[in-house]
Amino acid sequence: MKGIQLLPIDIHAAQNIRLADELRLDAELLAVHAELSRMDPTGERFATVLRNTIDQLLNGEATGRYSWESLYKTERTHAGTLVEINLQREFKFADGRAMDYRITDIEVDCKYSQSFGGWMIPPEARGHLCLLLWANDQESRWSAGLFRVKEEWLNRGGNRDAKLTIKAIHRDKIHWLWRDAELPENVLLHMDSSDRDAVFAPQSGQQRLNELFRRAQKRRISRNVVRTVAQQKDYMKRVRGNGGSRSALKPEGILIMGDYDSHRAVAEQLGLLPPREGEFVSVRVARKRPHHQAAPQAMLDGQAWVVATPDDEPVAAPSLPSHAR
DSSP 53-83: HHHHHHTHHHH----GGGS-HHHHHHHHHHH
Q: Give, for all 325 residues of the chain, the pLDDT tens digit.
A: 444 444 454 544 444 445 555 656 799 999 999 999 999 999 999 999 999 999 999 999 999 999 999 999 999 999 999 999 999 999 999 999 999 999 999 999 999 999 998 999 999 999 999 999 999 999 999 999 999 999 888 887 655 556 788 888 889 999 999 999 999 999 999 999 999 999 999 999 999 999 999 999 999 999 999 999 999 877 778 888 777 899 999 999 999 999 999 999 999 999 999 999 999 999 999 999 999 999 999 999 999 999 999 999 999 999 999 875 4
Closest to 262 measured CA to CA, from 300, 296, 236: 300
Residue 265 CA to residue 121 CA, distance in Å, equals: 46
- What pLDDT, on the 0 to 100 scale, is given for residue 243? 76
Q: Say what angle helices 44-58 and 73-91 make with each other, to 10 degrees.
A: 140
Strand order in the sheet with 175-182: 94-95, 101-103, 106-113, 129-136, 141-148, 175-182
- What pLDDT, on the 0 to 100 scale, is given for residue 29? 97
The SS3 assignment for 325 reads coil
Q: Are 323 and 303 in contact (CB under 8 A)?
A: no
- What pLDDT, on the 0 to 100 scale, is given for residue 151? 87
- What pLDDT, on the 0 to 100 scale, is given for residue 161? 59
Burial of 218 (0-12, 13-18, 19+ CB in 10 A): middle
**Rg of the chain on CA atoms, in Å:** 25
- What pLDDT, on the 0 to 100 scale, is given for residue 12? 45
Residue 209 CA to residue 246 CA, distance in Å, equals: 10
Q: Residue ranges of the alpha helices (H) in the chain?
A: 11-25, 27-39, 44-58, 60-63, 73-91, 187-190, 193-200, 205-215, 223-230, 245-249, 261-269
